[in-house]
Structure 1
């Protein structure tokens, strides 16, 4: 996902849901989905009363229904957005409405100016998430077998061979499954406060999250901050597992 760099049309279903409130596009994804912030007319700019609306056209193939179920499940143990509504419009597009949370994304300009603080907090937040969510009874899977069912059909022979040589599972946790930097929120002091975008949350090796979280610091902050994610999490880097799960991420 990226912040929009040009004007984004607001779908009629989002306008109706906003009921006259201010609608601001905040994220767009590579499949045409958009996340909007909706502030009620009497909202003074604070998060109280603000909502986020994820809108995915029918063509994306992404399930916001699955995300709604995962958010409701995870909310019993860890700070995640509260689901307010989930619906489809007449064109088949899905809308997921959640209450706003306190905190700024770890890629807000505030934290792009302090990447070391943000990177360490990404690791701390990820460790807290993994420690909080119970593997026993978790109904969602994000393990290697499940993910390989979504392998890029254009992946070459070398990639397929490398992914077939899977590492042993270190241990199992409930993974975020999109632990990139934008999906952790930080407070004014740089401490993690919550996680968002849990549409693929499921049981897997923690290195599946760690490898991607560390890799995302390069995309968002530049080189040299990966080690702070591992330090914040409290683990020494495992080069083989990191390489495997980064390759898996790039090809599924």
Structure 2
């Protein structure tokens, strides 16, 4: 398994990137109303913005070197928001230095890796599974303009030879859904009552076999809570684990 550094809340003060500061000033957010809440493994940062109206927005900033297309994520969020609870885009921008900004309205809940839920891993893992099933059931495959198919992913494999080998080993499709594309634990939000409330970070959303999402959602509980909680995800989703497809889609995740 390839080690993937986990995204996390910043552990120290972080500098507010100029695009975030400029947007915040434009909408009247005081410097004390800009709170860093997340840093991903690509150097991207997310800030909570407390608006004068009392509303909250989130500003997601990505450096040029990350190679992330936040405009594409905004398109997916706009489409998905018509069917399920995801953040609605407020503003997108690409800056002269190649960095990008995506501002979204707040959605309810805390990430499934918030300290409260890390301390209750069985409950959190079950909510991840239930939330993922609700997402898959809500998003209409026939109307989805986005692709996350195995062929599309393996075409961009880091090792083309491994990509071709995985394509030759692929199991048949079990059930096509609109997948989240990064169904790791931090991207499910959970309400005070312990139920899922929303999904975030849908930059790879697209049509694929549901095991492509579910295998990773369960795997991420090992990274975030430790071993022993994967079955709670499958139970929450309402399906028995298919070990062949789980292993295959985890290999694909490692390769892409």
TM range (shorter): over 0.9
Question: Which residues in structure 2 correspond to 1:120-139 (within 5 Å)?
Answer: 120-139=126-145
Q: Deviations over 1:27-67 (max 9, x none)?
A: 11222211111112564xxxxx1111111112211100100
Write the distance in 2 (CA, Å) between the matches of 1:143 and 1:69.
18
Match of 1:104 in 2: 110
Q: Identify which of 2, 13, 35 aligns with 2:19.
A: 13
Structure 1 pair 6–156 and aligned structure 2 pair: CA distance change class (3 A): farther
Q: Identify which of 168, 171, 185 aligns with 1:167.
A: 171
Write the distance in 2 (CA, Å) between the matches of 1:150 and 1:27.
27
Match of 2:182 in 1: 178
Question: Which residues in structure 2 correspond to 1:1-252 (within 5 Å)?
Answer: 1-19=7-25, 20-21=29-30, 22-41=33-52, 43=54, 49-153=55-159, 161-252=165-256
User: Which stretch of the first structure deviates more once superposed, 50-59 or 223-232?
Assistant: 50-59
Structure 1 pair 122–91 and aligned structure 2 pair: CA distance change class (3 A): same
CA RMSD in angstroms comes to: 1.5
Q: Is the 8 A contact 1:163 1:247 kept in 2?
A: no
Q: Is the 8 A contact 1:163 1:244 kept in 2?
A: no
Residue ranges of structure 2 left out of the alignment (5+ in a row): 1-6
User: Which stretch of the first structure deviates more once superposed, 9-18 or 160-169?
Assistant: 160-169
Q: How many residues align?
A: 245
Q: Deviations over 1:54-109 (max 9, x none)?
A: 11112211100100000000011000001111112232211000011111111111
Query: Which secondary structure does the structure 1 equivalent of 2:234 belong to?
Result: helix
Structure 1 pair 56–162 and aligned structure 2 pair: CA distance change class (3 A): same
Structure 2 length-normalised TM: 0.91
Shift of 1:184: 0.6
Shift of 1:163: 4.9
Q: Is the 8 A contact 1:179 1:209 kept in 2?
A: yes
Residue ranges of structure 1 left out of the alignment (5+ in a row): 44-48
Query: Which secondary structure does the structure 2 equivalent of 1:224 belong to?
Result: coil
Runs of 4 or more consecutive aligned structure 1 residues displaced over 4 Å after TM superposition: none
Shift of 1:13: 1.4
Q: Is the 8 A contact 2:154 2:164 kept in 1?
A: no
Write the distance in 2 (CA, Å) between the matches of 1:90 and 1:98.
21
User: Which stretch of the first structure deviates more once superposed, 125-134 or 34-43?
Assistant: 34-43
Structure 1 length-normalised TM: 0.93
Shift of 1:4: 1.5
